[in-house]
Amino acid sequence: MRKKGKDLSKKDTFIRGTIILAAAALVARVLGLAQRIPLEHMLNDIGDASFTIANNVYLMLLALATAGIPSTLSKMVSERYALNRPAEAKRVYQAALFFSAGAGVVMTLLLYFVAPYYATYVAEVPESAAAIQALAPALLLFPTIAMMRGYFQGRNFMTVGGVSQIVEQIARVVTGIGLAYILVRLGYDDTWVAAGASFGGVLGSIAAFGVMIFFAIKLRRQDRKQNLPGADRSIPLGGIYKAIFTLSIPIVLSSLAVPAINFIDGSIVKPLLTGEIGAEEATAALAVLGTRAQSIAGIPPILAIALSQSLIPIISAAYARKDQDHLQRQVTLALKISILTGMPIVLALVAASYSVNGLLFSSLNGSGIIAMLTFGTIFQITMMTSGSILLGIGKAKVSMVHVMIGIVIKLGASALLAPLFGIYGIIGATSLCFLVITVLNLRAIKAIVPFSILGSRWTGFIITALAALGIGYGVNQLGIQMVDLMPARLAFFITCLLVGAVVVIIYLVLLIMLGVLRQSELSSYPRLLQKLFRPLMRLQPSRLRERG
By three-state DSSP, how is residue 186 classified? coil
In a domain, 168, yes or no: yes
Greater confidence (536 vs 455) lies with 455
Burial of 455 (0-12, 13-18, 19+ CB in 10 A): exposed
User: Quick one: pLDDT band at residue 9, thresholds 50, 70, 90?
Assistant: very low
Greater confidence (16 vs 415) lies with 415
Phi and psi at residue 526, in whole multiples of 5°?
Answer: -55, 150
In a domain, 43, yes or no: yes
In a domain, 181, yes or no: yes
The answer to which of 55-69, 269-283, 485-499 has the lowest mean pLDDT is: 55-69
CA distances, 76 to each of 86, 91, 222, 244, 383 (Å) = 11, 11, 21, 8, 27
Q: What is the DSSP letter of 233?
A: T
| Cβ contacts of 35 within 8 Å, gap of 6 or more | 172, 173, 176, 177, 197, 200
Return the pLDDT at 8: 34
Burial letters 426-450, b for 16+ CB under 10 A, else e: bbbbbbbbbbbbbbbbbebbeebbe
Report whether pLDDT(331) > 60.
Answer: yes
Return the pLDDT at 208: 93
The arithmetic mean of pLDDT across residues 294-319, rounded, is: 73
CA distances, 307 to each of 90, 156, 335, 445 (Å) = 33, 21, 10, 19
Report whether pLDDT(332) > 60.
Answer: yes
Q: What is the Cα 432 distance to its own chain's centre? A: 18
User: Per residue, what are the HEC states of 471-493?
Assistant: HHHHHHHHHHHHHHCCCHHHHHH
The answer to which of 233-237, 400-404, 506-510 has the lowest mean pLDDT is: 233-237
Q: Which stretches of 301-451 are assigned E, i.e. beta strand?
A: none
Using CA atoms, how far apart are residues 12 and 9, in angstroms rounded to an integer?
5
C-alpha dihedral over 490, 493, 495, 497, to 10 degrees?
-140
Report whether pLDDT(237) > 90.
Answer: no
Return the pLDDT at 64: 75
User: Quick one: pLDDT band at residue 547, thresholds 50, 70, 90?
Assistant: low
Nearest to 284 by CA among 362, 193, 365: 365
Report whether pLDDT(5) > 60.
Answer: no
Nearest to 265 by CA among 193, 373, 368, 162: 373
Evaluate whether 429 touches 417 at the Cβ level (below 8 Å).
yes
Return the pLDDT at 78: 81
Q: What is the DSSP letter of 300?
A: T
Residue 272 C-beta-side C-alpha neighbours within 13 Å: 25
| Residue pLDDT, tens place only, 359-368 | 999 889 899 9
Using CA atoms, how far apart are residues 541 and 289, in angstroms rounded to an integer?
44
User: Quick one: pLDDT band at residue 42, thresholds 50, 70, 90?
Assistant: very high
In a domain, 120, yes or no: yes
Report whether pLDDT(234) > 60.
Answer: yes
Q: For the chain, what's the residue count?
A: 548
Most confident of 211-220, 222-231, 307-316, 347-356: 347-356
Tell me the helix, strand and coil percentages in the chain, rounded to 5: 85, 0, 15
Using CA atoms, how far apart are residues 48 and 71, in angstroms rounded to an integer?
34
Return the pLDDT at 426: 96
In a domain, 264, yes or no: no
* Mean pLDDT score across all residues of the chain: 86
Using CA atoms, how far apart are residues 287 and 41, in angstroms rounded to an integer?
12
Using CA atoms, how far apart are residues 209 and 328, in angstroms rounded to an integer?
41
The arithmetic mean of pLDDT across residues 216-232, rounded, is: 82
The answer to which of 73-87, 107-121, 306-320, 452-466 has the lowest mean pLDDT is: 306-320
For the chain, give the percent of residues with pLDDT over 90.
49
Evaluate whether 24 touches 212 at the Cβ level (below 8 Å).
no
User: Quick one: pLDDT band at residue 150, thresholds 50, 70, 90?
Assistant: confident
Report whether pLDDT(17) > 80.
Answer: no
| Residue pLDDT, tens place only, 375-392 | 999 999 999 889 888 877
| Residue pLDDT, tens place only, 460-518 | 999 999 999 999 999 999 999 999 999 999 999 999 999 999 999 999 889 888 888 77
Nearest to 52 by CA among 285, 236, 244: 285
Amino acid at 301: P
Using CA atoms, how far apart are residues 173 and 230, in angstroms rounded to an integer?
38
**Range(s) of the domain holding residue 56:** 9-255
Q: Please say whether the dihedral angle defined by the alpha carbons of residues 450, 387, 252 and 78, taken in this order, is positive or negative.
A: negative
- What's the pTM value of the predicted model, to 2 decimals? 0.84
Task: Provide the number of structural domains found in the chain.
Answer: 1
Nearest to 389 by CA among 325, 455, 305: 305
Nearest-Å Rg of the Cα atoms of the chain is: 24
In a domain, 69, yes or no: yes
Residue 410 host element (H or E): helix 396-421
The arithmetic mean of pLDDT across residues 326-349, rounded, is: 89
The answer to which of 56-60, 245-249, 283-287, 497-501 has the lowest mean pLDDT is: 245-249
In a domain, 97, yes or no: yes
Using CA atoms, how far apart are residues 403 and 382, in angstroms rounded to an integer?
13
In a domain, 116, yes or no: yes
For the chain, give the percent of residues with pLDDT over 70.
89
User: Quick one: pLDDT band at residue 228, thresholds 50, 70, 90?
Assistant: confident
The arithmetic mean of pLDDT across residues 19-42, rounded, is: 76
Amino acid at 454: L
Return the pLDDT at 442: 95
| Residue pLDDT, tens place only, 157-209 | 777 877 888 898 899 999 999 999 999 999 999 999 999 999 999 999 999 99
